[in-house]
């Protein structure tokens, strides 16, 4: 038990999927895991552990933004011995070639700032995904026939962005999409020797203004969860 996670020793699996929304964690656990059980509900941040094809899996919410993600990633790794952490979430597309419902597998995650910046000080550390997870995720996505993009994403500090000039530079430099958590997940995992990956569904688009209708999200997000699970146990 930690300050933010009430799970008992042994309740958290070595493989953890991390959606931002705790209710998406509940949906994913009930949809994809066998015999899921609630292992955490401190502060409303739900976590469930069950099995997938005989493998123990925890699906635990991370909250919105890198500070919240950092709390849960640190405690899951340091206090519960999590070895593989995969963010599953939505993102905004930033390239014409990226479409709504496409999946982005994040090779790198750029940011203006992260909670880890105080450690790095003057160093511009380049957080990146675990190669074995990334390779397996791409293979799983292609096998499912899901349109997939692999490359850099942008982890933003804020949701209501007032920097169109920065977005323009992200697009100019090939950034595929924007979200709010992956950069810090990659930092924390690197620091503690864990594997990390972000698998993201494009739910809206900064260039076109398109957005995925709410009734269509479940199927699209389902592909993302399956890809994440298959990559973890490839």
pLDDT digits (tens, 9 = 90+) for 37-93: 999 999 999 999 999 999 999 999 999 999 999 999 999 999 999 999 999 999 999
- The annotation status of 44 as a binding-site residue, yes or no, is no
Q: Quickly state the pLDDT bin for 218 (edges 50, 70, 90).
A: low
Is pLDDT of 180 > 90? yes
Neighbours of 126 (CB within 10 A): 12
What whole-number distance in Å separates Cα of residue 186 and Cα of residue 109?
A: 8
What whole-number distance in Å separates Cα of residue 166 and Cα of residue 173?
A: 11
- The annotation status of 89 as a binding-site residue, yes or no, is yes
- The annotation status of 179 as a binding-site residue, yes or no, is yes
- The annotation status of 21 as a binding-site residue, yes or no, is no
Is pLDDT of 194 > 90? yes
- The annotation status of 172 as a binding-site residue, yes or no, is no
Catalytic residue of the set 21, 79, 157, 204: 204
Nearest by Cα to 114 from 125, 129, 106, 103: 125
Q: Which domains does the chain have, with CATH numbers?
A: 15-232 (3.40.50.1580)
CB 66 within 8 A of CB 180: yes
Residue 224: φ, ψ to 5°? -60, -45
- The annotation status of 87 as a binding-site residue, yes or no, is yes
Neighbours of 136 (CB within 10 A): 20
75: Cβ–Cβ under 8 A, 6 or more apart, which residues?
Answer: 2, 3, 4, 5
- What would you report as the CA-atom Rg of the chain, rounded to the nearest whole angstrom? 16
CB 50 within 8 A of CB 57: yes
What is the arithmetic mean of pLDDT over 22-39?
97
Whether 204 is catalytic is yes
What whole-number distance in Å separates Cα of residue 21 and Cα of residue 122?
A: 33
> What is the predicted pLDDT for the residue at 216?
72
- The annotation status of 4 as a binding-site residue, yes or no, is yes
């Amino acid at each position: 038990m930690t300050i933010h996670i009430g799970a008992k020793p042994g309740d958290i699996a070595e493989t953890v999927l991390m959606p931002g929304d705790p209710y998406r964690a509940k949906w994913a656990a009930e949809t994809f895991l066998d015999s899921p059980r609630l292992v955490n509900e401190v502060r409303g941040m739900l976590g469930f552990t069950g099995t997938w094809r005989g493998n123990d899996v925890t699906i635990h919410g991370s909250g919105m933004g890198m500070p919240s993600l950092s709390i849960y990633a640190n405690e899951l790794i340091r206090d519960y011995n999590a070895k593989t952490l995969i963010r599953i979430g939505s993102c905004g597309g930033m390239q014409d070639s990226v479409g709504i419902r496409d999946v982005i597998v994040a090779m790198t995650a750029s940011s203006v700032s992260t909670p880890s910046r105080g450690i790095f000080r003057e160093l511009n550390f380049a957080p990146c995904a675990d190669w074995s997870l990334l390779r397996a995720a791409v293979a799983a996505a292609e096998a499912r026939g899901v349109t997939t993009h692999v490359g850099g994403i942008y982890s933003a500090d804020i949701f209501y962005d007032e920097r169109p000039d920065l977005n323009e530079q992200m697009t100019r430099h090939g950034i595929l999409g924007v979200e709010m958590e992956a950069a810090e997940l990659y930092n924390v995992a690197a620091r503690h020797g864990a594997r990390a990956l972000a698998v993201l569904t494009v739910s809206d688009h900064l260039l076109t203004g398109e957005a995925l209708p709410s009734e269509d999200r479940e199927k699209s997000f389902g592909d993302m969860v399956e890809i994440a699970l298959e990559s973890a146990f490839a």
